């Protein structure tokens, strides 16, 4: 690397010039970088695979004009994000919470955490309400312990007589308030929830 940085040897490529700039920035932060040349085909673990991948990459069509390191990193990050989203969408297909993966998902990302948690739990059915707890065999019955009028799940909260006076200014707020009120009442009456 010293040879690359010497005044006698002009940087032959943009990549080397950018590398030198990055190394200079790293040195400014008081860090030390050691570069070590490793010969290929000498049994160094991972070196053979790196060599194979480098050769495969060199055979692929290259952008014209060449891209900067910053642009390449940005494109790689975008590709990873896209593939991750595709994988999550595929994994969520057919599940109750599939709508959360859609662009127009039912839960806004701008809601307060307390509200988002309640809505997510109710939408997925992992809500710690009586029906869920019965499914997990924590309680004996899925029936609502507050009004005894039906199985206690997210839908039931909107018609539960014990929660009649609990409301919000929007349907989402009402669902959220009733959820947390039900959890508090379950805890105080049954010790579960």
Please report, for the chain, the start and end positions of each structural domain, with discontinuous segments joined by +. Answer: 1-37, 68-105, 113-190
Q: Which residue has the tokens 């969408």?
A: 89
The reported pLDDT for the residue numbered 111 is 80
* pLDDT tens-digit map of 158-182: 999 999 999 888 888 888 999 999 9
* pLDDT tens-digit map of 45-87: 777 788 888 888 888 887 777 788 888 889 889 999 888 888 8
* Residue 144 reports pLDDT greater than 50: yes
Integer Cα distance of 193 and 180 in angstroms: 10
* pLDDT tens-digit map of 56-65: 888 888 777 7
């Amino acid at each position: 690397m010293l040879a690359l940085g010497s005044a006698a040897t002009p940087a032959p490529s943009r990549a080397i010039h950018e590398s030198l700039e990055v190394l200079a920035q790293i040195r400014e932060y008081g860090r030390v970088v050691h570069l070590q040349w490793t010969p290929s085909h000498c049994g160094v673990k991972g070196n053979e695979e790196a060599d194979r991948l480098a050769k495969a990459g060199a055979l692929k069509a290259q952008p014209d004009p060449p891209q900067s390191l910053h642009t390449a990193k940005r494109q790689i990050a975008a590709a990873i994000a896209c593939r991750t989203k595709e994988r999550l969408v595929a994994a969520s297909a057919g599940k109750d919470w599939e709508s959360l993966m859609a662009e127009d998902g039912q839960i806004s990302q701008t809601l307060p955490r307390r509200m988002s948690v309640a809505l997510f739990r109710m939408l997925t059915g992992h809500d710690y309400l009586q029906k869920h707890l019965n499914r997990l065999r924590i309680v004996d019955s899925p029936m609502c312990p507050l009004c005894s009028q039906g199985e206690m799940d997210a839908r039931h909260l909107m018609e539960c007589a014990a929660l009649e006076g609990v409301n919000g200014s929007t349907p989402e707020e009402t669902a959220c308030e009733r959820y947390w009120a039900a959890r508090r009442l379950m805890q105080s009456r049954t010790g579960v929830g």
